[in-house]
Amino acid sequence: MMKYLAILGSTGSIGTQALEVVQAHQDKFRVIGLSAGSNLTVLKKQIATFSPKIVSVRSKDLAEKLRTEVRSDVKIVYGEEGLIEVATQDDVDFVITALVGSIGLKPTIKAIEANKQIGLANKETLVSGGHLVMELAKQYDVPIIPIDSEHSAIYQSLNGEKNTQVNRIILTASGGPFRNKSREDLKNVTIADALKHPNWTMGAKITIDSATMMNKGLEVIEAHWLFQMPYEKIDVMIHPESIIHSMVEYIDRAIIAQLGTPDMKVPIQYAISYPDRLNLNIDALDLTQIGALHFFKPDLERFPSLKMAYQTGKEGGTMPTVLNAANEVVVGAFLQGKVPFMEIESIIDAILGQHQKVKHPSIEEIMEADRWARVATSTLIKSKGW
């Protein structure tokens, strides 16, 4: 049966790979909606190839510019309302959320309320408002199928098993580009160094998160919500080769893992075609070529972001919302050369310390905490004068 898709963040790393999968399986998928931020060059090519009915861009100006450059039968919308309109189109069955940042939260909520299935790459949505998203998904009986590679691996390893039989979830982490650097070495790293992920080619924000290991911290919170697991049952293991994408240990101590070459097309195809799988024209994993896989315990003093995410996740309420928003702002500032790499964590820690937690936040309180954290983080960065 044909599946009708909307892709939020179609011009990014996940969005473009999702479209590659779709293009190779045109008999199964039809693209109804796309959304970009400001990359009109890529978006125009996607419009020409996939003929969506509706596309959204970041701002009114960009929407007006695009309107003069594409076919008049494509509806062009913009901003958060535009994202929501794309995600809730009547004929869409499945929404791929591949936006970066908590901007994805509201459109995801609206898509669930419109009974759309969700393929979720946008982890910040669950970090910021995980309790709301999961409650709604349950209420509307809408599946949230992870695209993040670790969570897809867990989803695949859990397939058919009961949650109550799980002893722990083991998230693997590459350790990022600075896995072997001391805190002292980190004082001299550059933006270019931080953007060199050892195993994955991804968008800039998640690549910096991998370098601080905040990515793994966000993924711990993401796993807590997706799999309804207490934090005590979520472990992180450094695995530099990124071949085992994550594993589940059951109460009988059996461990089930998902392995593969690091290629996001695997979790993307799994999410969009679940419960079936699609043929992918990618390299097969040859363990005899790899020879050895390695595993280490993460050093939480060496990677304070991971420790901070566990603590913040356990505190709950609006604390993870603030962690996420502060991280988004400070990573953006790092990428503009305004914050030294070593100070990313101290800024987030300071903002968490200033926040008055709301225990059981509504969507409005989540949005307010997100706004507050963004202003507080920008103000703190400016005051430092780096």
Ligand X SMILES: CC(=O)[C@@H](O)[C@H](O)COP(=O)(O)O
Task: For ligand NDP, give the closer residue by CB, 206 or 348.
Answer: 206
Report how far residue 356's alpha carbon sits from residue 375's, in angstroms, rounded to the nearest whole number: 15
Does residue 222 touch Mn ion according to CB under 5 A?
no
**Pairing mode, if any, of strands 166-173 and 144-146?**
unpaired
Residue whose token pair is 């007006």: 64
Site string for Mn ion, 140-159 (x = CB under 5 A): --------xxx---------
Is position 383 annotated in a ligand binding site?
A: no
For ligand NDP, which is the closer residue by CB, 200 or 274?
200
124 labelled ligand-binding: yes
Closest CA to 309 of 370, 244, 236: 236
82 carries a ligand binding annotation? no
Positions 41 through 80 that interact with ligand X (CB under 6 A):
none
Told to check if 87 binds ligand NDP by CB under 6 A, we report no
CA Rg, the chain, in Å? 20
Residue with the two structure tokens 């990515």: 215
- CA 277 vs CA 12, 21, 207, 229, 266: distances in Å: 23, 12, 28, 26, 9
Please identify, among the stretches 92-100, 160-168, 252-260, 348-356, the one whose residues bind ligand NDP according to the rule CB under 6 A: 92-100
For strands 3-8 and 94-97, give the pairing.
parallel
Contact code string over 31-70 relative to ligand NDP, x by CB under 6 A: ----xxxxx------------------x------------
Strands (E), the chain: 3-8, 29-35, 54-57, 75-78, 94-97, 117-120, 144-146, 166-173, 234-238, 244-250, 255-259
Query: From the list ligand X, Mn ion, ligand NDP, none, which binds 121 (C-beta under 5 to 8 Å, kind-based)?
Result: ligand NDP
Q: Is 122 in the site for ligand NDP (CB under 6 A)?
A: yes
Of 129, 176, 240, 361, which lies in the binding site for ligand X, with binding defined by CB under 6 A? 176
- CA–CA gap between residue 144 and residue 138 (Å, rounded): 10
Residue of 85, 124, 148, 222 interacting with ligand X (CB under 6 A): 148
Please name the amino acid found at residue 83.
L
Number of residues that bind Mn ion (CB under 5 A): 3
* Among 30, 116, 216, 224, contact with ligand X (rule: CB under 6 A): 216
Q: Does residue number 215 form part of the binding site for ligand X (CB under 6 A)? A: yes
243-282 positions binding ligand NDP, by CB under 6 A:
264
Placement of tokens 């799988």 in the chain: 277
Query: What contacts 44, CB < 8 A, 6 or more positions away?
Result: 66, 69, 70
Instruction: State yes or no: residue 103 binds ligand NDP (CB under 6 A).
Output: yes
d(CA 97, CA 52): 16
Position 156 contacts ligand X (CB under 6 A)? no
Residue 119 lies near ligand X (rule: CB under 6 A): no
Least CB distance from residue 359 to ligand NDP, whole Å?
26
Sole residue written with tokens 């004929």: 91
User: Annotated binding residue at 172?
Assistant: no
Give dist(CA 4, CA 151) in Å, integer.
Answer: 24
The distance from CA 277 to its chain's CA centroid, rounded to whole angstroms, is 22
Binding site for Mn ion (CB under 5 A): 148-150
Please enumerate, by residue number, every residue annotated as part of a binding site for 1-deoxy-D-xylulose 5-phosphate.
Answer: 123, 149-150, 174, 197, 210, 215-216, 219
Binding site for ligand X (CB under 6 A): 148-150, 173-174, 176, 200, 206, 210, 215-216, 264
